[in-house]
Structure 1
Amino acid sequence: MFDPITLQALLTCFGLDPLDWHCVGFGTGLINTTWVLKDRNGTIKYILQKVNRQVFKQPEDIAHNLRVVGDHLAKRHPDYLFVRPVPALDGEAFVRSEEGEYYRLFPFIGGSRTLDVVHKPEQAFEAARSFARFSHLLADLDPALLRDTLPHFHDLSRRYRAFEEALDNAPAILKAGAVAEIGTLKSHAGYVSDLEALKRSPDFPLRVMHHDTKISNILFDRQDKALCVIDLDTVMPGYFISDVGDMMRTYLSPASEEAQDLDSVHVRPEYFRAIVAGYLSGMEGGLTPLERGQFLFAGRFMIYMQALRFLTDFLEGDVYYGARYPGHNLLRAKNQIRLLESFNAAEGVFRGMLEALLPVGA
């Protein structure tokens, strides 16, 4: 919780009387720290957030991107619900504390809610359609106008090189404990060259993508209809497989990446269908023929990359994700490898769904 003096100073910078507001911790996000501001009647009116400077080195780049995207949507699609930061009294998107921390304020959307887990395919459909619509409405915005808030975030080639370097430098005892996982990830290294080949094609364009499409980054109404996308810090240039793949990685299995019971990790084909159908609906025919053929690769790419990242962190001594117990990141890697195996085993079922959703000539 805030030091009262710090909170008072922050609220004053946003033009709010500190005596009128009560600040309470909020949400389950792992990156930024979030609170809600309640008025004298106990009604939530604002979201207050501190940006994680260990992750986002240049918060000004986030502010730049939100301004560019927000201005574009306001001009071209004024009816779209885009949750802009509330400007401080000096007109800036952030208030910087004396300690160098960056804080921002968002309006709270009344009647909205977020989900931490996808409970039914209809929610996956709504989320996929919402993330797709966001990118579709920005299709005529030049991605080069945006800055990379997390450079190389979904760069699979770079992730694989980091894995190889970690493997070269890791203590023998760590490598000995992950022989099977190392071998599995090496056996799928062809995904790296597959992606590089796609990126060379003019029919696989850079787009404005969200890059963090977990279900909690959608605001739903009480009837489970998606209102809008939120948590836009990772909006930057990218490829459609990043958003689709992240949904597949986080929606398909009933178990999360933290599940220790690997038998609980498996894909649910009805959720795959919901993601693809929702995404196609939101894009309104905006995908190229080459992109439409990459829904299977999207899932493989993202699940594989996350397995690489977890195993790399294990080999490097848990320096990025941290670990709550010995072997935590190794187990996370095993979890994602199991998900990848289940995904690939379901390829025949998935292809049948894709043929129905993407008829020849569509």
Structure 2
Amino acid sequence: MELNLDSEVLEAYGYAKENTKITQIGTGLINRTYLLSPQSEEKKYILQNINTSVFKSPLSIAHNLRAIADYLTFNFPDYLFIKPVPTVKSEEMAHIHHEYWRLLPFVPNTISPEVLAYPKQAYEAAKQFGKLSRLLDKFDAKTLQPTIAGFHDLNLRYKQFTDALNQAEETLRETAKTQLSDALAHQYILDYYNSYSHRNDFPDRVMHHDTKISNVLLDRETNEGICVIDLDTIMPGKFISDLGDMMRTYLCACSENETDLDKIKLRLPYFEATVKGYLSEMKGILTETEKELILFSGKYMIYMQALRFLTDFLSGNTYYPISYPTQNLDRVKNQFKLLHELSVNEKELQGIIEENLV
């Protein structure tokens, strides 16, 4: 779909509206994304409007990307890190009519799949996310600013859940009775995390925090990993955020919107590919505590997402888009089935992990 944007946005980057083709692309739920094709040059660009309802401080994103780009340019100049193109005023973002925009170089001959088609894609994606964290191992994560406060903080998400439960209408609590029981029964995941969280060898690292397959560029012909994209949520965090989110989104052929729970099954080849790809980069720097928590990372992130869907249902479905009233509740059921699959296959999954830690 070709469309027009405010000419001031284009002018901020030195382009004229009449000489630039603009096409909306992507299926992201947060930022609006466009492909810019200036007639004056062969290169193309990605233009994004930052959703300030989600990212309250867009300048924190700019700060983080600048700091990481500077570090990688100095220490690993051959690494492809997609950093924003400055405006004509040398600013990292354009601020037009109370909206923030950023321009990024378009990487040709690449794809960013919406769904995984082969285990190789899982391997390559996991390798790319692991590589970025490995290259930033010596970078001081404390210098980065949180772009979404408490994004993967399970203690916060559990508190939000209990607050919503206490305030929810009785009809909602009754409708969600089974899922509430599941959520409370799995509180041991939070307790288990807290028993590890203050260990000295469980450090904060630079994490991407949104490791779905569409946030990696793969070579269009070979499916080899090229680089990581969509870096708004890059900030300090635990390694379980990235690896756990990959497990949550790579291991089942169905999305969180699947209502036929019999279809929620683990794909062992995808688990093996994900673990192998991630550990090919991270094995040498993970601590003993982190190695103990590799499989737990999946449980952590799946449980957190179940709590978030359940919290939204109890709060009147105000955060996640829904197409019918109980969709968030169905998503909760989906995530608890996925969590069950992880648990019942734990022995085999742990065996795969240990093979790849050797």
What TM-score results when the alignment is normalised by the length of structure 1?
Answer: 0.95
Inter-partner Cα distance in structure 1 for 2:189 and 2:206 = 23
Work out the CA distance in 2 between the residues paired with 1:43 and 1:215.
28
Q: CA deviation at 1:112?
A: 1.3
Distance between the aligned counterparts of 1:140 and 1:197, measured in 2?
26
**C-alpha distance in 2, partners of 1:217/1:322?**
21
Q: Which residue of 2 aligns with 1:320?
A: 319
- Match for residue 355 of structure 1? 354
CA drift of 1:88 comes to 0.4
In structure 2, distance between residues paired with 1:319 and 1:115: 28
Match of 1:156 among 135, 154, 157: 154
Q: Does 1:337 align with 2:336?
A: yes
1: CA distance, partners of 2:61 / 2:108: 25
Q: Does 1:126 align with 2:124?
A: yes
Q: Distance in 2 between matches of 1:115 and 1:271?
A: 15
SS in 1 for 2:117: coil
The question of whether the paired residues in 2 share the 8 Å contact of 1:130 and 1:226 is answered with yes
> Any unmatched runs of 5+ in structure 1?
none
The amino acid across from 1:230 in the alignment is: I
* Secondary structure at 2:84 match in 1: coil
Whether contact under 8 Å (1:170, 1:315) holds in the other structure is: yes
What is the TM-score with the length of structure 2 in the denominator?
A: 0.97
Q: How far has the Cα of 1:349 moved from its partner?
A: 1.2
Give the stretch that moved more between structures: 59-68 or 321-330.
321-330
Could you tell me whether the CA contact under 8 Å between 1:152 and 1:158 is conserved in 2?
A: yes
Change (3 A) 1:44 1:266: farther
Quote the residue 2:87 is aligned against.
Answer: 88
Supply the AA of the counterpart residue of 1:344.
S
The residue type equivalent to 2:108 in the other structure is G
Cα contact 2:254–2:264 (8 A) shared by 1: yes
Residues 21-32 of structure 1: pairs in structure 2 closer than 5 A: 21-32=20-31
Cα contact 2:217–2:229 (8 A) shared by 1:
yes
For 2:232, what is the secondary structure of its paired residue?
A: helix
Runs of 4+ in 1 over 4 A off after TM superposition: 1-4, 41-44
> For residues 144 and 3 of structure 1, what CA distance do their matches in structure 2 show?
41
How far apart, CA to CA, are the structure 2 residues paired with 1:231 and 1:323? 24
Query: 1:39 Cα shift?
Result: 3.4
Cα distance, 1:20 vs. partner?
A: 2.1
CA distance in 1, matches of 2:28, 2:41: 23
Identify the residue that residue 203 of structure 1 maps to in structure 2: 201
The 5 Å alignment of 1:204-353 reads: 204-222=202-220, 223-353=222-352
Deviation digits for residues 250-290 of structure 1 (CA, Å, limit 9, x no counterpart): 00000001112221111111211111111111225111111
- 1:136 is aligned to 134
Residue identity over aligned pairs, in percent, reads: 46
1:169 aligned residue:
167
Q: How far apart in 1 are the matches of 2:239 and 2:196? A: 12
Partner in structure 2 of residue 18 of structure 1? 17
Amino acid at match of 1:177: T
For residues 179 and 44 of structure 1, the distance between their equivalents in structure 2, rounded to whole angstroms, comes to 55
CA contact (8 A) 1:36 1:44 kept: no
- In the alignment, is the contact (CA less than 8 A) between 2:12 and 2:87 conserved in 1? yes
In the TM superposition, residue 205 of structure 1 has moved relative to its aligned partner by: 0.6
> Partners of 1:155 and 1:261 in 2: how far apart?
29
Stretch deviating more after TM superposition (330-339 or 6-15)? 6-15
SS in 1 for 2:44: strand
- Taking the aligned partners of 2:136 and 2:216, their CA distance within structure 1 comes to 17
- Cα root mean square deviation, aligned: 1.6
SS of the residue 2:47 aligns to = strand
Structure 1 pair 41/265, CA: closer, same or farther in 2 (3 Å)?
farther
User: Quick check: 275-284 or 202-211, which moved more?
Assistant: 275-284
SS of match in other structure, 1:37? strand
- 5+ residue gaps, structure 2, are none
2:3·2:22 contact (CA, 8 Å) conserved in 1? no
Q: What is the identity, as a one-letter code, of the residue corresponding to 1:201?
A: R
Range with greater deviation from structure 2 (233-242 or 10-19): 10-19
For residue 117 of structure 2, what is the amino acid of its counterpart?
A: H
Which range moves more in the overlay, 304-313 or 191-200?
A: 191-200
Determine if contact 1:37/1:44 at 8 Å carries over to the other structure.
Answer: no
